[in-house]
Structure 1
Amino acid sequence: MYIFRSRPTKSFAVNRIVKLIARVLSIGLVISSAEIYLYGFAQLPLLNAPLATAFLFLHMASLAWIIFGAWFTERPAYSQRGYTIVSVLLVFTWQFQVPDPSILPEGYHPWVWWVIGTAGIAAAVSLPLVWGLSYLIGIPVVWFFVHISPAGGSAEAFGAFKDSMYTALFSSSFSLLLLLLIDQAEKTDEAAQAAAEAEAERARIDAIEQERSRVDSLVHDKVLTTLLITAKANDPQRTAEAKALADAAIQALEDDAFTRDSAKTDITSFSLFGAFLETVKNDYPDVTIRETGASDLQIPNRVAAALSEATIQAITNSKQHAGPGAECVVRMKGGANGIKIVIKDDGKGFRPSRVPKNRLGLRLSIINRVESVGGTVKIDAAPGRGSAIILEWNNA
């Protein structure tokens, strides 16, 4: 549990749960607000009508914000906090809404009481835990003193205490269930992230082991066999056999070195751009490709491979997450000392800071891959205005 700070946002499961809770809460608030407005407008003749009306419409505005935040934004916590602030404001300014407490009928119940409980749930799920607890405990206590005051209806202490306890228990019970749900989502994300990192490490170790096995096999099959026969060469025929085996072992080692060196040969940006064009056209024919500045600039093979794989991954991400109808454009630009590749779309966009750690497509397949060969990755994206992934590499 995150007591003195907000819970992390870079979490896939938590983000989904928080959004689902926000939508359910918005529906619940709409239903409960019918009772709020029924009592609120009915009590206007007893109150400072202009001020009370203003507060009622302020509550309506905060409710509308709750609905908008839950269904049309990625950060519903902001609107939930706004609703909480409005409820606190209503409680602490109630005295000003009652110009003449003597006209209040016996058993009078201020309309703001129906706001406190639901606002407590909004506070608990949107604020850091210490602030949410402060609301869940503090506001019912404040309500107790408001309710026994003349402006609050001069309620009996026991009745006001029961109302306060009911409010506290109602909001706390629902809040506890929701917080436990969020906490479990956090643990799910942590487990998924650990599993993803373990899988990446396992893949790295497997690659090392495969290379080691290949070298061990080469040494065993060629070099050790040659040494054993050479050690037993005690006549011209065995010596000739040993020499032939030695020549074969040397040739095998040279071939292996050439194979590994060929992976390091350079290619030109002209060839790289041409390969991009063919690959993207074959895999994503609806993607627009534009290239300028292709030249004979030499690009190491490992750099070309990293940029190619990162570009394809960025295009794949765009096609999967930009939304239907979004247009993806790839721009490739060569320079005197490097190249720049921009993968841009006009889709729904995203917040880079909120990409979950267990989503490896962006973090490992693009950012880490390009940075491992000395390149840089920049991300220009925001909800509602598309995204752009910018890959750059310079040989300087």
Structure 2
Amino acid sequence: MVSGEHPTWGSVEGQLTRAALRILAVARLVVALVGGLLGVMSAPAGHELRTTVIVITVSAWSVLYARLLWRDPPPGLAWADVAVLSVVSLLQPWTVPPLSVGNGQGWVITLVSVAVVFHQWHTRPVSGIVSALVATAAFLVGAWWTAPELWIGAAAIGAWTPVQAVLSRVLNTLLVQAARAADAQEDRAQAAKREAAVAEAVRADERAHAAMLHDTAATTLLMVGLGEVGSSRQWVREQARRDLLALAGETSVAEGDALPALLEVIHASRVAVDLTAPDVLALRPEVATAVRGALREALNNVARHSGETSAVVIITAESVVISDRGKGFRPESVPERRRGVANSIVDRLAAAGGRAAITSAPGEGTTVRLEWDRD
């Protein structure tokens, strides 16, 4: 924690820095005001006025010092404080009774001790220790001028001041290191989250691409390869055109009425559809695109697996239901390598914030229900 330099306030180190500086600002101001009041009350005889003027000056400086420390200590603040403390220490013959100097009970030594301890929290290590030594030296010189015969007692008290500064510096260093370790741990955790998010996005894109391939070119080629349609039929040519557009990413449903996009899928289907639908279907583009793809896959499954040539599609403002009376299947027995139900229907709706449910049993037909939340 250095004057004019601080970490990001939102980090653990930054929060520690701000809290410490504000606590120190309040504590320093309280010590200066209370110590000054006691200094006036115990002023040496004949020096009451001088003591009062000095105390008022020190108190005014302490208010400014605390204000700067509360916000963000500028460079050189500690040295300005040392200059003030040194002057006050040299003026002890006017402000502190000789006996108080000798036994370490004067208000000046209290202010100096607290100040050098606090300096360690907003200075560099070398600067902080040197400032403590300078302030201590000024105090000892002032104590000599005040009470030469009691100077040994004052020297013993003053010698402890740099030790206090060193201990404060050690505490500061340990807390800062702990805060930085916490910040580093948080940075690693955030980096891991970002990497996981990127990896999931890549996997989602791969799943979407695999679903698109399954729904378009793979399905069309499979039907042609199995002889389910003739390669010269108009349907194949139209379906190949739609597949190419889909793979090129040119067929996302636009904002507004999604019904025309669903009707296009129904009209292109190889099964006859008994349709019930509203006049308009307002859906968000991402939901409409997902529903369209899932509807296409559901109708393809009817054509390929049900043994039926027709299906019932019911479209409402909150769902699309596709059902057939075909031979049905057991959804839980579908192999994982079969992407149609999982990727092209369930995952596609889930990625858009919707839901898909498949109900089927051997000999009982199949119902696919696509749902979404209305805006």
> Higher relative contact order by CA 8 Å / sep ≥ 6: 1 or 2?
1
The change in CA–CA distance for 1:189 and 1:162 in structure 2 (over 3 A counts) is: same
* Cα distance in 2, alignment partners of residues 254 and 155 from structure 1: 101
- 1:258 maps to which of 250, 253, 267: 250
Q: Could you tell me whether the CA contact under 8 Å between 2:101 and 2:150 is conserved in 1?
A: no
- 2:202 maps to which of 201, 208, 212: 208
The change in CA–CA distance for 1:153 and 1:55 in structure 2 (over 3 A counts) is: same
1:81-108 Cα shifts (integer Å, max 9, x gaps)? 7576334323246445648x9x956964
Q: Could you tell me whether the CA contact under 8 Å between 2:117 and 2:165 is conserved in 1?
A: yes
Aligned: 1:118 with 2:114: yes
* Cα distance in 1, alignment partners of residues 20 and 200 from structure 2: 42
* Cα distance in 2, alignment partners of residues 47 and 86 from structure 1: 24
* Cα distance in 1, alignment partners of residues 168 and 108 from structure 2: 20
* Cα distance in 2, alignment partners of residues 28 and 85 from structure 1: 18
For 1:92-241, what aligned pairs fall within 5 Å after superposition? 92=87, 94-95=89-90, 98=93, 108=102, 111-147=107-143, 149=144, 151-154=145-148, 158-227=152-221, 239-240=230-231
Aligned-pair distance for 1:248? 2.8
Q: Could you tell me whether the CA contact under 8 Å between 1:223 and 1:249 is conserved in 2?
A: yes
Aligned-pair distance for 1:48? 9.2
Aligned-pair distance for 1:60? 0.9
Residue aligning to 2:19: 20
* Structure 2 residue runs without a partner (length 5+): 256-284, 286-375
Residue aligning to 2:316: none
Matching residue's letter, 2:84: L
* Cα distance in 1, alignment partners of residues 47 and 78 from structure 2: 22
- 3-state SS in 2 of match to 1:112: helix
The change in CA–CA distance for 1:192 and 1:11 in structure 2 (over 3 A counts) is: same
* Cα distance in 1, alignment partners of residues 28 and 169 from structure 2: 14
Q: Could you tell me whether the CA contact under 8 Å between 1:121 and 1:174 is conserved in 2?
A: yes
- 2:239 maps to which of 218, 242, 248: 248
Matching residue's letter, 2:208: R
The change in CA–CA distance for 1:218 and 1:185 in structure 2 (over 3 A counts) is: same
* Cα distance in 1, alignment partners of residues 4 and 65 from structure 2: 22
Residue aligning to 2:60: 61
* Cα distance in 1, alignment partners of residues 223 and 56 from structure 2: 97
Q: Could you tell me whether the CA contact under 8 Å between 1:144 and 1:164 is conserved in 2?
A: yes
Residue aligning to 1:295: none
Matching residue's letter, 1:6: E
Aligned-pair distance for 1:167? 1.9
Q: Could you tell me whether the CA contact under 8 Å between 2:90 and 2:141 is conserved in 1?
A: no
* Cα distance in 2, alignment partners of residues 3 and 20 from structure 1: 14
The change in CA–CA distance for 1:258 and 1:13 in structure 2 (over 3 A counts) is: same
Residue aligning to 1:89: 84
1:189-228 Cα shifts (integer Å, max 9, x gaps)? 3433443344344334432331222112322453245446
* Cα distance in 2, alignment partners of residues 219 and 105 from structure 1: 95
- 3-state SS in 2 of match to 1:126: coil
Q: Could you tell me whether the CA contact under 8 Å between 1:36 and 1:115 is conserved in 2?
A: no
* Structure 1 residue runs without a partner (length 5+): 264-300, 302-396
- Give the paired residue count: 252
Q: Could you tell me whether the CA contact under 8 Å between 2:136 and 2:162 is conserved in 1?
A: yes
The change in CA–CA distance for 1:262 and 1:44 in structure 2 (over 3 A counts) is: farther
The change in CA–CA distance for 1:95 and 1:66 in structure 2 (over 3 A counts) is: closer
* Cα distance in 1, alignment partners of residues 115 and 131 from structure 2: 9
- 3-state SS in 2 of match to 1:259: coil
Residue aligning to 2:42: 42
Matching residue's letter, 1:180: L
Q: Could you tell me whether the CA contact under 8 Å between 1:13 and 1:189 is conserved in 2?
A: yes
The change in CA–CA distance for 1:38 and 1:252 in structure 2 (over 3 A counts) is: same
The change in CA–CA distance for 1:198 and 1:138 in structure 2 (over 3 A counts) is: farther
Q: What is the identity percentage for the equivalent residue pairs of Structure 1 and Structure 2? A: 15
Please identify the structure whose Cα radius of gyration is greater: 2
